[in-house]
Amino acid sequence: MSKIKVLVVEDYKPLAETLEYQLNRAGYEVLRAADGREAIQQAKLSLPDVVFLDVDLPVLNGIEVCKQLRMDPATKDTLILMLSALGEESDQVVGFAMGADDYVVKPVESYKVLLQRLKALLRRREPTVQQTDQYAQLGVIVDRRRFSASVNDQVLQLTKSEFKLLETLIRQPGRAFTRAELVDAALGEDTLVLDRTIDVHIRALRKKMREAGDFIETVRGVGYRFKE
């Protein structure tokens, strides 16, 4: 059975070497790139399963790298875990909006936890949903068979997590979901998350939905619901 391939994109050599060591020790095959352009070339050539992507990179920054990987059919489904010293919520929103599957703030305090987050990402990876169900509410349509969503016939470019969140909410309009329930539904019950991870995903989803984002209502002290 072939090893899972991880591309580490990091220009700070000591961190890149430490990540490579930890990943090799855990049984992963590791590739490295030190700038954004090299990262894209490596990803297209080697087709890694996962990319550990630094945001502050020379030549092309990590946000642009993520965007380009998501636009390429060969790499659009590659799992991307962003590593960044930028820890503000707005920075994480941008990362998730560009298609990142997870976002870790540097410095990395525990490589054991980081490896568990990688395992959780890999467990979340599933084939495209095959059911023919379609849900529609207030001009928002979610088609599970096509794995697509639209607002007033305008297709939304959603990440897998954003799609699952929207699907979960729209299936039961008016019902308030707790953050824990949304983590289980959209990210997987075995995912290691911080309390505000769902809030970051919801903020990114609302932004993509534009005016229709107001249909996702905040329920104070509970979580979120889709407007009836």
Alpha-carbon span 204 to 99, nearest angstrom: 10
Is residue 50 within 8 Å of 118, Cβ to Cβ? yes
Q: Are 139 and 111 members of one domain?
A: no
* Residue 197 pLDDT greater than 90, yes or no: no
Residues 6+ apart with CB under 8 A from 111: 18, 22
Taking the CB of residue 191, how many other CB atoms lie within 10 A of it? 19
pLDDT band at 108 (very low <50, low <70, confident <90, very high): confident
Alpha-carbon span 84 to 217, nearest angstrom: 30
Q: Look at residues 124, 145, 163 and tell me which one is the last residue of a structural domain.
A: 124
Residue 129 lies in a domain: no
Alpha-carbon span 100 to 88, nearest angstrom: 16
Q: Are 161 and 81 members of one domain?
A: no
Angle at 218 between CA 212 and CA 219, to 5 degrees: 140
Residue 207 lies in a domain: yes
**Average pLDDT value for the chain:** 86
More confident residue, 157 or 133: 157
Asked whether the bond before 107 is cis by omega within 30 degrees of 0, the reply is: yes
* Residue 1 pLDDT greater than 50, yes or no: no
Q: Describe the chain by its helix, strand, coil percentages, rounded to 5.
A: 45, 20, 35
* Highest mean pLDDT of the ranges 29-38, 69-78, 92-101, 115-124: 29-38
Span between the terminal Cα atoms of the chain, in Å? 49
Amino acid at 209: M
For the chain, the domain total comes to: 2
What percent of the chain has pLDDT above 90?
48
Q: Which of 203, 136, 130 is nearest to 165 (CA)?
A: 203
* Residue 80 pLDDT greater than 90, yes or no: yes
* pLDDT at residue 81 in the model: 94
Q: Are 146 and 199 members of one domain?
A: yes
Average pLDDT in the 56-70 region?
92
pLDDT band at 24 (very low <50, low <70, confident <90, very high): very high
Amino acid at 37: R
Average pLDDT in the 115-129 region?
73
Q: Are 140 and 120 members of one domain?
A: no
Is residue 4 within 8 Å of 29, Cβ to Cβ? yes
Domain containing residue 202? 134-226
pLDDT band at 106 (very low <50, low <70, confident <90, very high): confident
Q: Are 222 and 116 members of one domain?
A: no
Average pLDDT in the 177-206 region?
75
Q: Which of 225, 128, 222 is nearest to 170 (CA)?
A: 225
Average pLDDT in the 114-128 region?
77
Alpha-carbon span 35 to 56, nearest angstrom: 9
**Can you give the pTM of this predicted structure?**
0.60
* Residue 165 pLDDT greater than 50, yes or no: yes
More confident residue, 170 or 145: 170
